[in-house]
Amino acid sequence: MELLFLARDGDSAAFGELVRRLARPALAVAIRVLGDHALAEDAVQDAFARLWREAGRFDAERGSFPGWWRRMLMNCALDARRRLKPVQPLELAAEVADPAAGPEDAAHSNGIAALVQAAAASLPHRQRAALTLFHGDGLSMAEIADALGSTEKAVEGLLLRGRAALRDKLEELRGVER
């Protein structure tokens, strides 16, 4: 928090330290949401640029810094996904989003996480975001709703549908693997 206050006064060294602390978890979340390393890197870069520009807008009385930052990051990640849309249909984009983690590659991969990442590639990005925040960061429905600019009810639906679709896809991939 102190680093943020220094950063908003123009302290680039404090901002650099803040970026070093936030970069790794932010990139991991963005990769899970977007399923593409290059897109995720750009989204995190955008989020940090926004953080630097808009540090002065943070109001501690209206919420915590982690929640504010998470919302900023999610907005950038979901925007990156939207930018991808006009170039190719979403279904196709999902299939090619993570070329290193296609069904065949994942089948040969020994990591269960890589297999789930391949399965998750077919899920809509908001479902992936909800799953990531719920299972990865252990956030509550209200916190996820806040990060995604949605309602708790909608997040509940995203999680239910996301889990069901992920399970189906995982079973399908396991079938390919055997």
Partner 1 sequence: MMRKDYSESEFEAAVEAWAKTDFGDDAAIGRIIARTEKLAETAMPETRTHARHGWRKLVFGVGIAASVAVAMLVMPGTDPKTGMKQEVSFIEAEENGTDSDETVDSFALLYTPTMEEELYI
Binding flag, residue 126, partner 1 (CB under 8 A): no
* Minimum distance of partner 1 from residue 2's CB (angstroms): 16
Q: For helices 12-34 and 65-84, what crossing angle results, to 10°?
A: 50
Binding flag, residue 104, partner 1 (CB under 8 A): no
Best CA proximity match to 95, nearest among 131, 120, 127, 74: 120
* CA–CA gap between residue 141 and residue 66 (Å, rounded): 15
Question: Is the Cβ of residue 112 or residue 160 nearer to partner 1 in the bound state?
Answer: 112
Question: Is the Cβ of residue 89 or residue 167 nearer to partner 1 in the bound state?
Answer: 167
Best CA proximity match to 90, nearest among 118, 123, 116: 123
Cβ count near 156 (within 10 Å): 14
Binding flag, residue 105, partner 1 (CB under 8 A): no
Contact residues: partner 1, CB under 8 A: 7-8, 10, 12, 15-16, 19-20, 23-24, 27-28, 31-32, 37, 40-41, 44-45, 48-49, 52-57, 59, 111-113, 115-117, 120, 131-132, 134-136, 163, 166-167, 170-172, 174-176, 178
